[in-house]
Structure 1
Amino acid sequence: MESKRMVQIRLSQGGLIAHRQLAGAGVTRGRLRWMLTSGRWQRVLPRVYAMFTGGLDRRQRLLAAQLYGGDDALLTGAAALEVHGFRYVPRDAFVRVLVPRGRRLRPAGFARVHPTARPDRHARPNGVLRPSSAARAVVDAARFCADARRVRAMVAESVQAGHCTPDELVREVADARRGATPARRAAVEEVVAGVRSIAEGQARELLAGSTVLPAVAWNPRLTEPDGTRLPTPDGWIAEADLGVEVDSRAYHFSPDDWERTLRRHARLSEAGAVVLHFTPRQVRDDPRGVLAAVERAYLSRMRSGYRSRIKTS
C-alpha cells in the first residue's frame, strides 16, 4: 500500500518522482530496482522516474526537467513562457532550467541546465511548476531563437498582455548581456529592439489622438538647409522643428552609448530643434502627461513665431 506522501507526490507531480523524494515516500532502493526492472516504472531523466509506462505529455516533460534540476531549479526560456501562458512561444527542442552556479549537472535527454549566479527574485510558482519571471524567460528564450520575427512577437506579447513591463525587460537584458558571447548579445539586443518598437508604437498612438498637434512624422530623414544630414529622432513635428524621443538611459549598455545619444540631441539642438525625451514608463504610466508636454512645446514654438529651418525628406 502506498504511503500518504507517495499518493501526494503521485497526484501533485503527474506521476513523476525524483530520487531524492523516494525515502520520504517510503520507497527503498530494492523496491525502486524492482519497479524499474519489472517495467512498472521508467527512468525518464537521471534520478527522475515516471510511475507509469508510456510517454510524457508536455506538462510532465516540464516537471521532469525541473525535478532533474533540483528543489530550487526554475524553468526558463520557452518552457517558462508556456507556464506563463504566452501564445507566441519560440520553438525549442529542450526544456531549459536555471540552477545555482556550482551545481554539477550535465545535459540529459530533453533537459538542459543553465547555471546562474543571478537569483530570480521575481519568480513565482505556478502550482507545482516554478517558472522564472516573464522578463527573464523572454530574454532567455531569445538567446536560443534565430527567428527575429518570433522574438519580436514574443516581446510584444510580454508587454501588451501584461506579463511584464518594458523597464523590466530592459533591466533583464542589461543583466543578461554581461559576460554573454557575441551571438547571445545579438539575441538579447533583438529584445531591446522589440521593447523600443513597443514603446514607440504606444507613443505613435498617443500623439495621433491629439486635437492640437499636426501629423507627426516617424523616423524621418532630416537635413539642414545646406543638405547636411542630421540625426533622426523617433518622432518629428516639421513645422515646429520639434523632436520626440522615446528612450531611456536604461537602454544603453555603456557610457559610449549614452554619450552618443547626448551628441545626437546636441546636434539637433544646434540646428534649432527642440527635442523632448520620454521613457517607456512615462509613455505607459502617464500618457496624458506626455501628450500635454508635447502639445505645450508645440504651441510655445508656434506662438513665438518660429519658422522651420530643418528640411524633412
Structure 2
Amino acid sequence: MSHSTPISPRALRPSSPVRERVLTTTRLRENGVTAADANERCRPGGPWQRLLPGVFLLRPGPPTPEERLHAALLYTARPPSARTAPRVPAQPGSPEPRAHRPSADALITGLAALALHGFSCAPPLPSLGTIDVLVPRLRRLRSAGCVRIVRTTVLPAPVFVAGVPVAAVPRALADAVAELTDAEAVRALLTEAVRRGYCEPRSVVEELTAARLLDRPYVVDAVDSLVAEGRAIAENRLYRMVFEHGLPDPVWNVELRLPGGPHLGALDAYWPEQAVAVELETRTPLQEADDVRASERTRRREHLERLGVTVVHITPRKLRDAMEQQATIVRTALMAANDRDPAAYVVVLPRS
C-alpha cells in the first residue's frame, strides 16, 4: 500500500465527522494502514499529525477543540478487548440518541468539563492547553500531550454534554480547583456554579472535602462565599414558593423564645397562628460533622416539637426541583394546625 493512498475516500473529506478525522493506531491498522505508513504521513509537511500516543489527526493544521476532545477520549479509552462497547461517544455537532449512548471509560473533567457545561468564567476550550481526563485509579495511563490524567477510586456516572462524557459539575469543580492557585478564579467558579443553578453548595463542599482541598485558605474563603450565595438563593426561592403558591404570609427570619426563658432557635418563616415554621437546611457536611452543633440542633428541634411548634425542614435542592411539592407540605401542616392542641406561647423576635 503506497503512502499516498487514503484509508477511505470519506475519511479524508473536510466535511467528514470528527470521529473519521481522529483515529487510533488500531483503527488505522483495521483499514490497512501500518504503523510505519502512519509515521511516514506524520513527517514534517505531511498530511497527517500525531496528536497523542497512538492517536492521529488525518489532516494538517491545528486541531479543533472537538478534535482535541475526541483525541483525549480515544487515548484514554480501554482497548476494545477490555470493554463491551468499542465506540467512542460522538462529539459536538454529531449528537447521539440517549438510548444508544455507551458507558464511558473516561470523563472530561476540570476546566474543560466546566467549559462544556457552559460556565462563562471558565476559559473557552480553544484556549485550554490541557484537557483533564478522569479515569479509574488502576488504569495504566500517563499524562501526555494535551491530556492530564486525573485518577479516581470509582469513576462516577457520566454526564453527556453534546455527546461528550463529562464529570458532573461538583466533581469537575473539585478537579479544576485542585489545579488553580488564583483565589479570584476559584471564587468565580464556585459562585457561578450556585448562582446559575448548576448545583447546590452541599454537593460542591462534599467534593472539595473528598479531594482534601479545604486545607487551602483561599478555597475555604471561596466556600464561605459559596455557602452565603447558596443561602441567599434558597431564601429567594422560599419567598417565591410562598407567594407563587398562594400560602398565607408568614413572618420572615425570626427567632423564638419562651417568655423570660431561653432562645429556641432561628427560623426562616413562621406562621404564629398555626405554630408552623420552615427551616432551610443549608448546612454543609463540615457543619453537620460538628458533633456539638448537631446535638444542640437536635435538642432545639425536640424542644420546639414538645412546645407544639411544627417545623418543616426544606433543602435548597427540593426548593429548586420540587417547589410545588414543598408548598403542598407546608400547606398541609398549616391546615392540620386546627386538629392539634394549641402550642405553647412563644415570643417572636427578629433574627439577630
> Scaled by the length of structure 1, what TM-score is found?
0.71
- Kept in 1, the 8 Å contact 2:107–2:134? The answer is yes
Is 2:214 the partner of 1:182? yes
- Matching residue of 1:43: 50
Alignment of 1:114-153 (within 5 A): 114-124=150-160, 126-127=162-163, 129-133=164-168, 136-137=171-172, 140-141=175-176, 146=183, 147-153=186-192
Is 2:69 the partner of 1:65? no
Quote the sequence identity (%): 26
- Matching residue of 1:309: 347
Q: Call closer, same or farther: CA 1:191–1:288 in 2, change over 3 Å.
A: same
- Matching residue of 2:237: 202
> Could you tell me how far 1:292 is from its partner in structure 2?
0.8
RMSD: 4.3
- Matching residue of 1:83: 116
> Could you tell me how far 1:97 is from its partner in structure 2?
1.0
- Kept in 2, the 8 Å contact 1:173–1:191? The answer is no
Alignment of 1:222-301 (within 5 A): 230-237=264-271, 242-247=276-281, 254=289, 256=291, 259=295, 261-266=297-302, 273-280=309-316, 282-283=318-319, 284-285=321-322, 286-293=325-332, 295-296=334-335
CA deviations 1:44-100 (Å, max 9, x no partner) are 33433333333233222322322332242211233234434x244534843211112
Q: Call closer, same or farther: CA 1:254–1:307 in 2, change over 3 Å.
A: closer
Is 2:6 the partner of 1:2? yes
Alignment of 1:80-119 (within 5 A): 80-84=113-117, 86-88=118-120, 90-91=122-123, 93=128, 94-119=130-155
Secondary structure at 2:167's aligned position in 1?
coil
- Matching residue of 2:95: none
> Could you tell me how far 1:273 is from its partner in structure 2?
4.8
> Could you tell me how far 1:37 is from its partner in structure 2?
1.8
Gaps of 5+ in 2: 79-104
Q: Call closer, same or farther: CA 1:35–1:277 in 2, change over 3 Å.
A: same
**Structure 2: distance between partners of 1:61 and 1:235:** 51
Gaps of 5+ in 1: none
- Kept in 2, the 8 Å contact 1:224–1:271? The answer is no
Length, aligned pairs only:
302
> Could you tell me how far 1:25 is from its partner in structure 2?
3.5
> Could you tell me how far 1:130 is from its partner in structure 2?
2.3
| Larger helix percent | 1
